[in-house]
Each structure stands twice: as structure tokens, then as C-alpha cells.
């Protein structure tokens, strides 16, 4: 190969390296500049946000906090209500879960919430006992006058007015039911709240000194009680 050819090739390679190096440097410079601009933008936004926060009056700060709290409460309410049934009758709105009027024989605790047109909120509880002729326990009519609610070993006893007992029997006498629908007083509300937060809970429905029915609440039953009390607490707070 002639010496001139070698020189030309060397010059070409050198020029190519210069072009490639320049291109790499240019691209890197652009990327660094873009990164700096992005960092500056984020910093400016942060500083502006902090400045706006510092410039808020105490009144505006209180308002923003109230709006944030209200948004969180509404989100909580929507989440709780999503698993419940809502119906209005006589100007009163009821929130309850879907229950079977003919469940497996036994006793059940079914709280629900009632809200009147003025926003007044009441936590009610339905004590429901169901019996069928093929029930091996053979408790038949109990006419209960007491209910024990036990949560993690702590028991609250509710005295029941038998004059408020609802009784029903099928025409063929194959099944019967007893139930109380009562407003929960503060002690009962706390007992239900304890059930909703407990790892174990049970109820005992009985006539003092006579027949009784005992039931260990399932995880689902405890969750439903928890959610109903939580809904009551949210709505009660709103009505203050």
C-alpha cells in the first residue's frame, strides 16, 4: 500500500473519531441540561408550594384541613356503604346487610343504622333466633329475656323486655322465630364495638334459669358488626 493511502486512511479515522466524540459530547450536554432543567423545575414547584403554604392565613389553613378531613370521611363512608343495603321508609333511611329470614337454626346478632330526615342517627340491633323442627338441639320456644355479648372474654349482659319480643310460627309449625329490634344504648354500642374489634366473640340468648341458645360469631359476622358500628360513628360525628 502506498504511503499516501496510509496517510489518507489515518486522517479519515482521526476525523471520524473527532465527529463521533463531538456527537457524544453534544448528546451528553443536552441530557445534562435537560436534567438540570427538570431538577430546577421540581425545586421551583416545591419552593412555590412551600411559599404558598407559608402565605396561607390561619383561616385558610383550617379550611384546607377541614376539607381534607371531610374528603377522607366521605371516602370512608362510601367504602362502608358499598357492602350494605340502603333503603328509605317513612322518611327514615336504613343501612343494613343482607340477611336471610330462614338461616340455619340458631341465634344471630344483626345491628343496623337508622337515620331520620334531620340527620339524627341511631344504632339498632336485631336479636334474631330461628328454629326448625329438625334442629337437633330442640330448644323450641325460648322467650329469651337476656342476651350475653362476649368479646375476647369480656361479657356484657343486656336485659330484654319480653313485652317487646316478636314471635312468629309457620302455619305448618315447621319453623318459628323470636326477635327483638332495639335501640342500642351506650353500653350496648360499646359491646358491639368490642365485638367488631375482637379476635373471638359470642352471644348467648336465654330465659333466665331456663333454655338458651349459644353462638360463636364468624369472622364475617364480626366484620359486618365492625363496619356497622364504624358507619354509625361516622354518621353520628356528622350530626353533631
How does pLDDT run across 187-219, given as a tens digit for each residue?
Answer: 999 999 999 999 999 999 999 999 999 999 999
HSE on the CB side for 236, CA within 13 Å? 11
Quote the CA–CA distance of 221 and 27 in Å, as a whole number: 64
How does pLDDT run across 156-179, given as a tens digit for each residue?
Answer: 999 999 999 999 999 999 999 999
| Helix/strand/coil percentages in the chain, nearest 5 | 45, 30, 25
Quote the CA–CA distance of 187 and 157 in Å, as a whole number: 10
Neighbouring residues of 198: CB distance < 8 A, sequence distance ≥ 6: 151, 152, 222
Cell numbers 317487646: residue:
164
pTM higher than 0.75 = no
Q: Inform me whether the pLDDT recorded for 139 exceeds 70.
A: yes
Q: Are 113 and 232 in contact (CB under 8 A)?
A: yes
Quote the CA–CA distance of 60 and 3 in Å, as a whole number: 83
Amino acid at each position: 500500500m502506498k504511503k499516501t493511502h496510509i496517510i489518507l486512511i489515518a486522517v479519515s479515522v482521526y476525523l471520524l473519531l473527532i465527529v463521533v466524540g463531538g456527537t457524544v459530547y453534544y448528546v451528553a450536554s443536552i441530557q445534562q441540561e435537560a436534567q438540570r432543567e427538570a431538577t430546577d423545575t421540581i425545586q421551583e414547584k416545591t419552593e412555590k408550594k412551600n411559599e404558598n403554604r407559608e402565605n396561607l392565613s390561619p383561616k385558610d389553613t383550617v379550611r384546607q384541613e377541614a376539607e381534607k378531613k371531610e374528603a377522607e370521611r366521605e371516602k370512608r363512608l362510601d367504602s362502608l356503604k358499598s357492602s350494605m343495603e340502603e333503603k328509605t321508609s317513612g322518611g327514615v333511611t336504613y343501612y343494613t346487610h343482607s340477611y336471610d329470614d330462614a338461616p340455619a337454626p340458631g341465634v344471630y346478632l344483626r345491628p343496623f343504622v337508622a337515620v331520620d330526615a334531620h340527620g339524627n342517627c341511631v344504632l339498632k340491633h336485631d336479636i334474631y333466633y330461628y328454629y326448625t323442627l329438625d334442629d337437633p338441639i330442640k330448644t323450641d320456644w325460648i322467650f329469651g329475656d337476656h342476651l350475653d355479648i362476649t368479646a375476647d372474654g369480656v361479657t356484657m349482659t343486656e336485659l330484654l323486655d319480653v313485652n317487646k319480643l316478636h314471635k312468629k310460627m309457620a302455619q305448618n309449625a315447621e319453623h318459628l322465630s323470636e326477635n327483638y329490634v332495639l335501640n342500642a344504648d351506650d353500653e350496648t354500642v360499646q359491646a358491639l364495638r368490642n365485638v367488631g374489634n375482637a379476635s373471638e366473640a359470642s352471644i348467648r340468648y336465654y330465659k333466665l334459669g331456663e333454655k338458651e341458645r349459644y353462638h360463636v360469631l364468624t369472622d364475617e359476622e364480626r366484620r359486618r358488626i365492625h363496619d356497622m358500628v364504624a358507619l354509625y360513628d361516622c354518621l353520628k360525628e356528622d350530626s353533631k
